[in-house]
Amino acid sequence: MTAIQTRRRPAGSASAANRIWDAGPLTKVVLAFALVLSAFPIYYMFIMATRSKDEALDTPPPLLPGGRLGENIQQLLDNENAYFATGLINSAIIATTVTFSVVVISTLAGFAFAKLKFKGSKILLGSILLTMMVPLQQMGIVPLYEMMVNLGWTGQIQAVILPFLVNGFGVFMMTQYTTQAVPDELVEAARVDGASTMRIYTNVILPAVRPGMAVLALLTFMQNWNEFMWPSIVLNPDNPVVQTSIAALNQAQGTDYAMLFTGTAVSVLPLIIVFVAFGRQIVGGLMEGAVKA
């Protein structure tokens, strides 16, 4: 990532009024407690994934890793109800495709809304904000399902890809980002030089908004990797996404918690890796978006 990092320390230090910004003991306790609460369920999940079916039911539950991770993964992949490997592949394809589409479409629209003057732009942008209030997923299930039946696509992953190809949040975020990442004069200057709109897009806008695109890509990928309701309706158990595959494990009689937790651990691992690698950008992107919103 080519993001330029600006790390500014709070200015000034010693004055008495400033001392209230130093973390006191209470603050440290609150933060430590929050960290433990945040991490514990994830830690617990990974511990259970290394334990046997019986150990998972011990009270008190085991809190240290065991040695059965390999066997649990093997069992998970062999499970005849879950189609877990298929689910992983499907989720990867769906999330990647949707992310690509959302980022490209949002960047194009964000450029237009942020830097170009055209009739109706305010109304169009406002309409996008309004639609963010509508529970499109819940309201769309009947017609979208019927649409997929008519196309003969139920049970196939394109049925999960299509409805998610655009979202209002992406356009909104890229509009905000482009507004502040690209100075108007830069666009003006390129115009004077005779550049066409598309050339301005490729040569001026794209290089400047890349960090914003990265954050949007990560958020979109996460969201689609985690999608549950619509896939559980439109896909069949033998061709699932990773989340519905886990739901199938969960629904099996006499749940094997060790295997179930192995499934959830494997399903969140890619996200955690991405999060650790790009954490700084994600936090920064979220905070920037929040202030502008």
Partner 1 sequence: MTLNIDTPAPPKRTGPRRSSGHRGSGRGGNALTRFDLRATPYFLVSPYFLLFALFGLFPLGYTFWASLHDWELGGDKSFLGIDNYTELIADDGFWNAVVNTVGIFIISTIPQLVLALMLANALNKRIRGRLFFRLGVLLPLVTSVVAVAVVFTQLYGRDYGMVNWFLGFFGVEPIEWQNQSWTAWIAISTMIDWRWTGYNAIILLAAMQTIPKDLYEAASLDGASPRRQFWQITVPMLRPTLIFVVFVSTIGGLTLFAEPVMFEGNPTMAGGATGQYQTVAMFIVKEAFRDFDMGYASAAAWMLFALILVGILINYSFTRRIGGKK
| Positions in 14-53 near partner 1 (CB under 8 A) | 16-18, 20-24, 27-28, 30-31, 34-35, 37-39, 41-42, 44-45, 48
Length of the chain: 293
Tell me how far apart the alpha carbons of residues 58 and 47 are, in angstroms, rounded to a whole number. Answer: 13
Minimal distance in Å, beta carbon 186 to partner 1? 6
Number of amino acids touching partner 1 (CB under 8 A)? 141
Minimal distance in Å, beta carbon 195 to partner 1? 7
Q: Rounded to 5 degrees, what angle do the CA atoms 282, 284, 289 make?
A: 95
Residue number with CB closer to partner 1 (33 or 78): 33
Tell me how far apart the alpha carbons of residues 244 and 264 are, in angstroms, rounded to a whole number. Answer: 11
- Please report whether residue 83 would count as binding partner 1 according to CB under 8 A: no
- Please report whether residue 8 would count as binding partner 1 according to CB under 8 A: yes
Minimal distance in Å, beta carbon 74 to partner 1? 20
- Please report whether residue 228 would count as binding partner 1 according to CB under 8 A: yes
Options 64-72, 75-83, 92-100, 202-210: segment touching partner 1 (CB under 8 A):
202-210
* Residues between 239 and 278 that touch partner 1 (CB under 8 A): 243, 246-247, 250-251, 255, 257, 260-261, 264-265, 267-268, 271-272, 274-276
Minimal distance in Å, beta carbon 222 to partner 1? 7
- Please report whether residue 158 would count as binding partner 1 according to CB under 8 A: no
C-alpha dist (Å) from residue 280 to 31, 190, 201, 275:
18, 32, 27, 9
- Please report whether residue 123 would count as binding partner 1 according to CB under 8 A: no
Question: What does residue 58 show for φ and ψ, rounded to 5 degrees?
Answer: -65, 145
C-alpha dist (Å) from residue 53 to 70, 175, 246:
13, 50, 16
DSSP of 113-154, one letter per residue? HHH---TTHHHHHHHHHHHTTS-HHHHHHHHHHHHHHHHT-T
Minimal distance in Å, beta carbon 217 to partner 1? 13
Minimal distance in Å, beta carbon 274 to partner 1? 8
- Please report whether residue 92 would count as binding partner 1 according to CB under 8 A: no
Helices assigned H by DSSP within 52-205: 69-78, 84-115, 121-131, 136-151, 158-161, 168-181, 184-192, 197-200
Minimal distance in Å, beta carbon 242 to partner 1? 8
Residue number with CB closer to partner 1 (71 or 284): 284
Q: Within 13 Å and on the Cβ side, how many CA atoms surround 44?
A: 11
- Please report whether residue 198 would count as binding partner 1 according to CB under 8 A: yes
- Please report whether residue 114 would count as binding partner 1 according to CB under 8 A: no
